[in-house]
């Protein structure tokens, strides 16, 4: 079994006491990591799936300090609020890995970049280069079970506001997935809520933010009362995935 912890949408700010939609994002991330240390570490790898910062690259320094001591590879991909060049410049040293693939036992983790320079409101796009890289990775690792991580939702969240800001080229992405039966799961963030569904035998999982959440199936962007959270994925040698969302129930700043 391989244990992977997924954190997403940390939205760190240059000001350690900075607030996003009523939540001090550094404090809530620290609380998530504290619970992970108590309950779910050690892990074989940690994935942080985008929006590491809230448009402020100075905050990558906090990511470096917080995740460097967890004694596991830390797999990173940018979200729409990230600054990709600065993310790569500041966090390309061990234990961090930005993008690419990571082999873990019988599994390969494929990290996709959906950051879209021409985005107006936060939508994502893989584009031809990233789609070709996905196809090549799946061909190269056809004998391994595969988990794909990206930032933007590749399917509808049944929320018109969020769905308008999803993955613009979801159809070609899904077409590639359908051609490769070794894909067992797809995990993302961006939507600030939890989702866990199956499509064609593949598990599709949206992971809540380490700060605040949006109300599921709401047409707009109404902040929900759910606490910060992260996801635990236990990747079985036979290709099965056991997963749960770890919610910080009762969390107060």
Residue 18, pLDDT score? 96
pLDDT per position as a tens digit, 228-242: 999 999 999 999 999
Q: CA dihedral in degrees (225, 230, 234, 239; nearest 10)?
A: 80
What is the b/e burial string over 79-90, where b = at least 16 CB atoms within 10 angstroms of the residue's CB? bbbbbbebbeeb
The predicted model gives 138-143 an average pLDDT of 98
Residue 120, pLDDT score? 83
Residue 110 near residue 149, CB atoms below 8 Å = yes
Mean per-residue pLDDT of the chain: 97
pLDDT band with cut points at 50, 70 and 90 for residue 253: confident
Residue 63 near residue 6, CB atoms below 8 Å = no
The DSSP secondary structure of 45-65, one letter per residue, reads EEEEES--BSS-GGGHHHHHH
pLDDT per position as a tens digit, 105-127: 999 999 999 999 998 899 999 99
* Six token digits for residue 228: 């910060």
The predicted model gives 128-149 an average pLDDT of 98
Question: Which CATH number applies to 2-247?
Answer: 3.60.21.10
Q: Tell me whether residue 38 is exposed, middle or buried, using C-beta atoms within 10 angstroms of its C-beta: 0 to 12, 13 to 18, 19 or more.
A: exposed
Find all residues with CB under 8 Å of 227, minimum gap 6, and list them. 213, 247, 248, 249, 250, 251
Beta bridge partners of 167: 124
Query: Is residue 73 scored above 90 in pLDDT?
Result: yes
pLDDT per position as a tens digit, 188-206: 999 999 999 999 999 999 9
Residue 205, pLDDT score? 98
């Amino acid at each position: 079994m391989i244990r992977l912890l997924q954190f997403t949408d940390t939205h760190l700010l240059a000001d350690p006491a900075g607030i996003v939609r009523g939540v001090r994002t550094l404090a809530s991330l620290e609380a998530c990591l504290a619970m992970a240390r108590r309950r779910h570490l050690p892990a074989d790898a940690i994935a942080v799936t985008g929006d590491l910062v809230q448009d402020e690259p100075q905050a990558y320094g906090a990511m470096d300090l917080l995740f460097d001591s967890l004694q596991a590879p830390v797999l990173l991909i940018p979200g729409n609020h990230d600054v990709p060049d600065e993310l790569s410049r500041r966090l390309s040293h061990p234990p961090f890995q930005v993008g690419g693939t990571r082999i873990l036992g019988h599994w390969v983790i494929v990290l996709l970049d959906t950051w879209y320079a021409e985005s107006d409101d936060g939508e994502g796009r893989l584009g031809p280069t990233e789609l070709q890289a996905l196809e090549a990775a799946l061909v190269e690792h056809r004998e391994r079970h595969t988990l794909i991580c990206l930032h933007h939702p590749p399917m509808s969240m049944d929320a018109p506001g969020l769905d308008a800001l999803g993955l613009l080229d979801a159809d070609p992405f899904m077409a590639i997935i359908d051609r490769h039966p070794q894909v067992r799961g797809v995990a993302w963030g961006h939507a600030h809520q939890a989702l866990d569904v199956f499509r064609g035998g593949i598990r599709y999982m949206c992971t809540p933010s380490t700060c605040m959440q949006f109300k599921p199936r709401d047409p707009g962007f109404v902040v929900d009362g759910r606490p910060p959270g992260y996801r635990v994925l236990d990747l079985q040698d036979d290709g099965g995935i056991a997963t749960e969302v770890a919610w910080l129930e009762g969390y107060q700043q």
